[in-house]
A and B are shown apart, each in its own frame.
Chain A
Amino acid sequence: GNSVTQMEGPVTLSEEAFLTINCTYTATGYPSLFWYVQYPGEGLQLLLKATKADDKGSNKGFEATYRKETTSFHLEKGSVQVSDSAVYFCALITNAGKSTFGDGTTLTVKP
């Protein structure tokens, strides 16, 4: 079956530090890849997505590139803020609409 493996957390960074959260996947076919963010007590919000190989998704300073050769979709941000503290989920959705989520990575950014 399909699977998504995320970097284990929690991750604690100082404000303005560089962020990388690793994500690798296994899937048949060519899934679309997503990063979602969940703030405490809330549902999931789409952060960014990429639908085919070499696509780069970006939003709010976050970026991730769909790497088919390494089956990866690592999330990066050049300078994190306290407001970025949240849980981040990597996910894939197949062409048939089946979704698989990673376990989530908790990010805490300290002032």
Chain B
Amino acid sequence: GAVVSQHPSRVICKSGTSVKIECRSLDFQATTMFWYRQFPKKSLMLMATSNEGSKATYEQGVEKDKFLINHASLTLSTLTVTSAHPEDSSFYICSARDRTGVIHEQFFGPGTRLTVL
């Protein structure tokens, strides 16, 4: 149980285009999902916390107009990188918290590798 999927697993896009990444909790309902960014050989950086039915909470330094987050249902959150540039190339990972579980449990998706040309 507690499986989180991400789609796509890899995406290559041209500079200036927008890319949408989906995060789904497959066998549980997630009131809260988290979006992280990981640079090569670096740790995870929390970008934002996504709560179902409300606006996402962004960490300091993360542009909310560039990284649009929507959490429309208890099993789906999306991250849209708008007007992508090469510096947005990174590994994006989501995690989800089970609404019925303990508050500290987070289950991670497999990640999405974004390459902006």
Contacts and interface: CB of A to CB of B under 8 A. Distances in A.
B111 A43 contact: yes
Given A89-B44, A102-B43, A104-B42, A97 B97 contact: yes
How big is chain B's contact interface, by range?
20 to 34
A74 to B, nearest CB: 18
A32 interface: yes
Given A42-B110, A43-B110, A101 B44 contact: yes
Interface residues of A, number: 22
A46 B53 CA distance: 28
B34 A44 contact: no
A94 B46 CA distance: 14
A24 B104 CA distance: 19
A45 B108 CA distance: 7
A26 interface: no
A93 B43 contact: no
B100 to A, nearest CB: 14
A93 B105 CA distance: 8
Interface of B: 6, 32, 34, 41-44, 46, 49, 93, 95, 97, 102-104, 106-111, 113
